[in-house]
Amino acid sequence: MRKGKLGIWIAVTALLISVLSGCASGGSNKVDNTSGSESKPDSSAKAVTLKMVMWDSNNDFITFLNDKVKEYSKVKSNVTIELESFKSDSDYLQAVKVRAGGNALPDIIELKPNWLSDFKEQLMPLDGLGFVSSNKYADKYKVDGKVLAVPSVSFPELVYYHPSVFKELNLEVPTTWPQFLDVLNKIKENGTYIPYAMGGKDAWPDYPFNEFLPHILSDDENYLSAMAEEDAPFAQGTAFYEGFSQIAQLYDAKVMGPDPLGVGWDQATDLFVSKQAAVVASGLWFVPTYASKTGSTDDLAAFPMPYRQNEDTPLKLMTFTDHFYGISASTKYADEAKAFMEWFYSPEVYQDYIDHAQLGSAYEGIEANVPFLQDFYNNNKNEPFLYIPGNAAYTDLANAIQLDVKALGQEMMAGKTVDEISKDLDGKWSKARSAK
């Protein structure tokens, strides 16, 4: 009996040793994910399936893209595009990170601009390719001097309002921050409408303020990367401190309904759509959502978020680029993936893409057919200000101190002061910098 037990233990130990030695062999300081990292040239006759992964909250757009990429088989009969879609960008990011860790990334990956540094080792440089040179913004988002992905869309960040409400309350479109607060206060005084629909329960809807305001106030598109060079970028006198103080004026004015933190984005936009709320801020992507709920955009108009204090300075319009596509460095079909991207961004295909996305174009010579956007540009004078995410140094520091400006926005709405935030962040930032 004892011998029998010994045999089992020997077998178990052998299994353990074989598994652990397997880990050890890959593990001086490498994760075991070297398989499939070579890019093999394929003959045109060989059947190839390219996996593409994307997110979008709009089901119709996902259906459109699914059908669109299938058309590529007519151009290259041996290539099939398999599209996998996610409904939320956070779920998408989590899934892609897990796959990156296991070296199971799809061939073509969609990204947000602020994810590019994180995935720099997983993306293939695209410099010199045709679809890169004709992209208006690709060069602005180089990581370590290389273009790793190209943005598919650009769009302005807007403040939406109901013209009927402004007319009823005799309000003018504000062009400065004090005017903006004044408009919201007047709506509050009237008492019929919630002045601003925040949706703060979800944290991210405060991004037009907590993420963009200090950035625009700095007047430097590379403000976030510049922060990485400073020891106290949150201290009094910095763009961060001034911006957050400006935001505090808005949050302290109590113009976001009875409980801005108890209502999520969906509920907040429902309040706006049903005309219970007068104003909401978000990207151009909100227009299709609004139109799908109301059937028209007749009672919808927009103006640039007036971050400036007075009319002596230009009215900056935060412009966001999004839906970047890059090619995985571990793809087995690099040539086929590049050829697909050339097709995808060819004028005819891209025009169809951008018209369905209902967002601004990222390519020279191609304009999106978005009447709302054209009306906006016709009616509002502004100076575009491009959102450029922080570089790798900034991302490392921000991750080390777990910096989430949108969660800080929630804390401000819950009563935390700018001084407390600034002191806390500066302490952590300086410590993280010295540890690097």
Partner 1 sequence: MRYTVQKRLVIFSFLCIPVGLLVLFLLYPTVKLFQFSFTNWNGISESFEYTGLKNYITAFQTPEVWTALGNNFLYFILHVIFIPLEIMVAVFLNNKIKGSNFFRSIVFMPYILNGVAVAYIFSYLYNPINGPLNALLGDMNLEFLIRNWLSDSSVVNYSLVAVSLWRFSGFHVILFLAGLQSVPADLYEAATIDGASGFQKFRYITAPGISRVIEIVLFLNVRGALQVFDIPFLMTQGGPGTASTTFTVYTIQTAFKYNNYGLASTLAVILMTIIIVFSMLQSRLFKGREE
Minimum gap (Å) between residue 203 Cβ and partner 1:
6
Identify the three-state secondary structure at position 47: coil
Minimum gap (Å) between residue 37 Cβ and partner 1:
9
Minimum gap (Å) between residue 226 Cβ and partner 1:
21
Q: Which is nearer to partner 1, 123 or 126 (CB)?
A: 123
Cα gap 138→73, rounded to integer Å: 27
* Cα 207 to Cα 106, 225, 283, distances in angstroms: 30, 18, 10
- Cβ distance 84 to 99 under 8 Å? no
| Look-up of token digits 């709009």 | 58
Minimum gap (Å) between residue 23 Cβ and partner 1:
7
Neighbours of 64 (CB within 10 A): 17
Minimum gap (Å) between residue 261 Cβ and partner 1:
3
Minimum gap (Å) between residue 14 Cβ and partner 1:
11
Q: Which is nearer to partner 1, 29 or 296 (CB)?
A: 29
- Cβ distance 26 to 37 under 8 Å? no
* Cα 276 to Cα 188, 270, 421, distances in angstroms: 12, 8, 33
Q: Which residues contact 291 (CB under 8 A, 6 or more apart)?
A: 297
Q: Which is nearer to partner 1, 1 or 45 (CB)?
A: 1
Q: Which is nearer to partner 1, 167 or 436 (CB)?
A: 436
Q: Which is nearer to partner 1, 11 or 75 (CB)?
A: 11
Q: Which is nearer to partner 1, 33 or 85 (CB)?
A: 33
Q: Which residues contact 387 (CB under 8 A, 6 or more apart)?
A: 113, 212, 215, 221, 318, 319, 320, 321
- Cβ distance 226 to 239 under 8 Å? no
Minimum gap (Å) between residue 11 Cβ and partner 1:
6
Alpha helices in 193-256 (DSSP H): 207-210, 212-218, 223-227, 239-252
Q: Is 59 exposed, middle or buried (0-12, 13-18, 19+ CB in 10 A)?
A: exposed
**302: β partners:** 160
Minimum gap (Å) between residue 143 Cβ and partner 1:
13
Q: Which is nearer to partner 1, 79 or 105 (CB)?
A: 105
Minimum gap (Å) between residue 381 Cβ and partner 1:
37
Q: Which is nearer to partner 1, 38 or 311 (CB)?
A: 38
Q: Per the structure block, which two tokens stand in for 70?
A: 């299938």
Minimum gap (Å) between residue 410 Cβ and partner 1:
4
Full DSSP string of 87-135: S-HHHHHHHHHHHHHTT---SEEEE-GGGTTTTTTTB---TT-HHHHTB
Minimum gap (Å) between residue 330 Cβ and partner 1:
10
- Cβ distance 196 to 256 under 8 Å? yes
Q: Which is nearer to partner 1, 218 or 395 (CB)?
A: 395
Strands 277-283 and 150-161: antiparallel
- The DSSP symbol for 49 reads E
> How many Å from the N-terminal Cα to the C-terminal Cα in the chain?
58
- The DSSP symbol for 151 reads E
Q: Which is nearer to partner 1, 149 or 373 (CB)?
A: 149
Q: Which is nearer to partner 1, 154 or 210 (CB)?
A: 210
Residues at the interface with partner 1 (CB under 8 A): 3-4, 7-8, 11-12, 15-16, 19-20, 23, 27, 29-31, 33-34, 93-94, 97, 100-101, 118-119, 121-122, 200-203, 257-263, 267, 271, 399-400, 402, 404, 407-408, 410-411, 413-416
**160: β partners:** 280, 302
Neighbours of 376 (CB within 10 A): 20
